[in-house]
Amino acid sequence: MKILVINCGSSSLKYQVLDMNGEILLAKGLVERIGMDGSVITHEKIGMDKVRNETPMESHKEAIQLVLDAIIDPEHGVVKDMSEIGAVGHRVVHAGEKYASSVLIDDDVIQALEECVELAPLHNPPNLLGIAACQELMPNTPMVGVFDTAFHQTMPPESYIYAIPYEYYQKHKIRRYGFHGTSHKYVSQRAADIMNCNLDDLKIITCHLGNGASVSAIKRGVCIDTSMGFTPLEGLVMGTRCGDIDPAIVTYIREKEHLDQGVANEILNTKSGVLGISGVSSDFRDLEEAAEEGNERAQLAIKVFAHKVRFYIGAYIAEMNGVDAIVFTAGVGENDIAMRDIICNDLGNLGIKLDLVKNKTRGKEAIISRDDSRVKIILIPTDEELMIARDTLEIVKGLNK
User: Which one of 120-128, 169-177, 332-340, 351-359 is the stretch in contact with ligand AMP (CB under 6 A)?
Assistant: 332-340
Least distance between ligand AMP and beta carbon 275 (Å): 10
Q: Which residue lies nearest ligand AMP, judged by its C-beta?
A: 331
Least distance between ligand AMP and beta carbon 230 (Å): 21
User: Which one of 59-67, 81-89, 276-284, 364-372 is the stretch in contact with ligand AMP (CB under 6 A)?
Assistant: 276-284
Least distance between ligand AMP and beta carbon 337 (Å): 8
Q: Which is nearer to ligand AMP, 179 or 284 (CB)?
A: 284
**Which residue of 92, 228, 330, 352 would you call a contact of ligand AMP, by CB under 6 A?**
330
**Which residue of 42, 211, 269, 361 would you call a contact of ligand AMP, by CB under 6 A?**
211
Least distance between ligand AMP and beta carbon 9 (Å): 13
Asked if 239 touches ligand AMP (CB under 6 A), the answer is: yes
290 backbone dihedrals φ, ψ, rounded to 5°: -65, -40
Q: Which of 106, 148, 244, 371 is catalytic?
A: 148
User: Which one of 24-32, 65-73, 255-263, 282-290 is the stretch in contact with ligand AMP (CB under 6 A)?
Assistant: 282-290
148 annotated active-site: yes
Sheet of 2-8, strand order: 51-54, 40-45, 24-32, 13-19, 2-8, 85-92, 143-147, 103-104
Tell me: is residue 91 an annotated ligand-binding position. Answer: yes
Asked if 295 touches ligand AMP (CB under 6 A), the answer is: no
Q: Which is nearer to ligand AMP, 89 or 273 (CB)?
A: 273
Among candidates 384, 375, 379, which has minimal Cα distance to 359?
A: 379
**Which residue of 210, 229, 243, 276 would you call a contact of ligand AMP, by CB under 6 A?**
210
**Which residue of 225, 234, 336, 384 would you call a contact of ligand AMP, by CB under 6 A?**
336
**Which residue of 102, 335, 359, 369 would you call a contact of ligand AMP, by CB under 6 A?**
335
The catalytic residues are: 148
Q: Which positions lie near ligand AMP, rule CB under 6 A?
A: 210-211, 239, 282-285, 330-332, 335-336
Q: Which residues are annotated as a binding site for ATP?
A: 14, 208-212, 283-285, 331-335
